[in-house]
Chains A and B, each alone.
Chain A
Amino acid sequence: MIEKPITDYDEEVRNCSCSYCGNNCDDITYLLKDKKIVGVRHACRIGASKIINDQDQRLLNPLVRNDEGILEETTWDVALDKTARLLYESDRPVLYGWGETSVEAIKKGIKIAEKTGAVMDNQSTICHGSSIQAFQNVGHPVMTLGEVKNRADVVVYVGTNPMDDHPRHLSRYTTFPEGFFRKNGRKDRTVITLDPKYTNTAKVSDEWIQFNMNEDYLLFDALRMLLKGESLDEEEIAGVPTSQLENLIQIMKNAEYGALFFGLGVSQTLGKQKNVDMLIQLVEDLNRYSKWSMLPMRGFFNVSGFNIALTSETGYPYGVDFSRGYPRFMVGETTTIDLLNRREPDFFMAISADPGVQFPGYTIKHLINIPTIQIDTHWGPYTELADIVLPSTRVGVETEGTAYRMDSIPLFMKKVIDKPENCHSDEWILTQLYERIEILKQEEDN
Chain B
Amino acid sequence: MKVMVNTGTSVIQAFYEKKGSTLKDEYRQSAAVAFMDLKDMQKLSLKSRDKIKIKSEWGEVVLYVDISYDAPHEGMVFIPRGPWANIIISPETYCCNVPTYKGIPAEIFKTDEDVLLVSQLMNKVYNKYNLDDDKLTDKPVYKKRMI
- Do A and B share a direct contact in the complex (Cβ within 8 angstroms)? yes
Chain A positions within 8 Å of B, measured between CB atoms, are: 20, 45-47, 49-50, 52-58, 61, 63, 65-66, 69-74, 125-127, 129-130, 133, 161, 163-165, 167, 196-200, 202, 213-214, 264-265, 267-270, 272-273, 299, 319, 331-333, 335-338, 341, 354, 356-365, 367-368, 377-381, 383-385
Contacts A53-B20, A385-B126 given; does A332 touch B96 at CB 8 Å:
yes
Give residues 21-58 of B contacting A (CB, 8 Å): 21-24, 58
Establish whether residues B100 and A268, one from each chain, have CB atoms under 8 Å apart when the complex forms. yes
Q: Are B126 and A129 in contact (CB under 8 A)?
A: no
> Which residues on B sit within 8 Å (CB–CB) of A337?
91, 93, 97-99
Residues from chain B with Cβ under 8 Å of A368 in the complex: 126-128
A100 to chain B, nearest CB (A): 9
A contact residues around B68 at 8 Å (CB): 197
| A336 to B93 alpha-carbon distance, docked (Å) | 11
Give complex CA distance A59, B147 in Å. Answer: 18
Q: Which residue of chain A lies nearest to B7 when distances are taken between CB atoms in the complex?
A: A268
For the complex, is B111 an interface residue (Cβ under 8 Å from A)? no
B18 touches A70 (CB 8 A): no
Instruction: From B58, B118, B121, name the one whose CB has the most chain A CB atoms within 10 angstroms.
Output: B118
Residues of B within 8 Å of A356, CB to CB, are: 83, 86, 118, 122
Which residues of chain A have C-beta atoms less than 8 A from B126's C-beta? 364-365, 367-368, 384-385
What 0/1 pattern do residues 77 to 91 of B give for CB contact below 8 A with A? 010011100111111
Complex contact B18–A49 (CB within 8 A): yes
B4 adjacent to chain A (CB < 8 Å) = yes
Does B1 count as interface, using CB distance less than 8 angstroms?
no
**In contact, A71 and B73 (Cβ under 8 angstroms):** no
B21 touches A129 (CB 8 A): no
Q: Are A74 and B145 in contact (CB under 8 A)?
A: yes
Instruction: Tell me which of A163, A197, A381 contacts B73 (CB under 8 A).
Output: A197
Who on chain B is nearest to A69 by CB? Answer: B129
Chain B interface category by residue count: 35 or more
CB distance from A200 to the nearest CB of B (A): 7
Note all chain B residues with C-beta closer than 8 A to A52.
19
Contact yes or no, B90 A360, CB < 8 A: yes
Taking a contact as CB atoms under 8 Å apart, the answer to whether A377 and B91 are in contact is: no
B72 to chain A, nearest CB (A): 7
Q: Kindly list 20 other residue pairs between chains A and B, CB separation below 8 angstroms, not including A57-B140, A164-B11, A197-B70.
A: A46-B14, A47-B18, A56-B21, A72-B145, A74-B145, A126-B98, A129-B98, A196-B76, A198-B71, A200-B70, A213-B4, A272-B96, A337-B93, A338-B97, A341-B93, A356-B118, A360-B86, A360-B90, A360-B99, A383-B140
- Compute how far the CA of A423 lies from the CA of B104 in the bound complex, rounded to whole angstroms: 40
CB distance from B118 to the nearest CB of A (A): 5
- Known A-B contacts A127-B98, A268-B100, A319-B97; the reply to A165 vs B9 at CB < 8 A is yes
- Give B87 Cβ to nearest chain A Cβ, in Å: 4
Closest to A382 in B: B122
Contact, CB under 8 Å: B128 / A61? no
> A46-B11, A378-B22 known; A130 and B82 CB under 8 Å?
no
Q: Is the CB of A272 within 8 A of B94?
A: yes
> Do B19 and A53 have beta carbons less than 8 Å apart?
yes
Given known A46-B14, A267-B98, contact A361–B125 (CB-CB < 8 A): yes
For residue B35, which residue of chain A has the nearest CB? A197
Q: Are B11 and A167 in contact (CB under 8 A)?
A: yes
Q: State A246–B89 Cα separation when bound (angstroms).
A: 36
Q: Which of A70, A338, A381 gathers most chain B CB within 10 Å? A: A381
B80 to chain A, nearest CB (A): 10
Chain A residues in 8 Å Cβ range of B15? 45-46, 49
- A200 CA to B78 CA, complexed, in Å: 14
Question: B108 to nearest A CB, angstroms?
Answer: 18
Write 13 A-B pairs (CB below 8 A) sorted by A numbering: A54-B21, A58-B20, A126-B101, A163-B11, A200-B70, A264-B101, A264-B102, A268-B101, A337-B91, A358-B86, A364-B86, A368-B128, A381-B121
Complex CA–CA separation, A380 to B21 (angstroms): 8
With known contacts A164-B10, A360-B99, A381-B118, A73–B73 Cβ distance under 8 A: no
Do A381 and B22 contact each other (CB < 8 Å), given the known contacts A57-B140, A269-B102? yes
Which among B81, B96, B103, B125 is the interface contact of A214 at CB below 8 angstroms? B103
Determine whether the beta carbon of A45 is less than 8 Å from that of B91: no
Look across to chain B and name the residue whose beta carbon is closest to the beta carbon of A196: B73
Contact B91 A362 (CB under 8 A): yes
Provide the bound-state CA to CA distance between A435 and B11, in Å. 41
* Contact between A384 and B87, CB atoms less than 8 A apart: no
Minimum C-beta distance from A418 to chain B (A): 18
Q: Which of B17, B78, B103, B142 counts the most chain A CB atoms within 10 A?
A: B142
Contacts of B125 in A (CB 8 A): 361
Question: Could you say which of A70, A214, A360, A383 contacts B143, with CB atoms under 8 Å apart?
Answer: A70
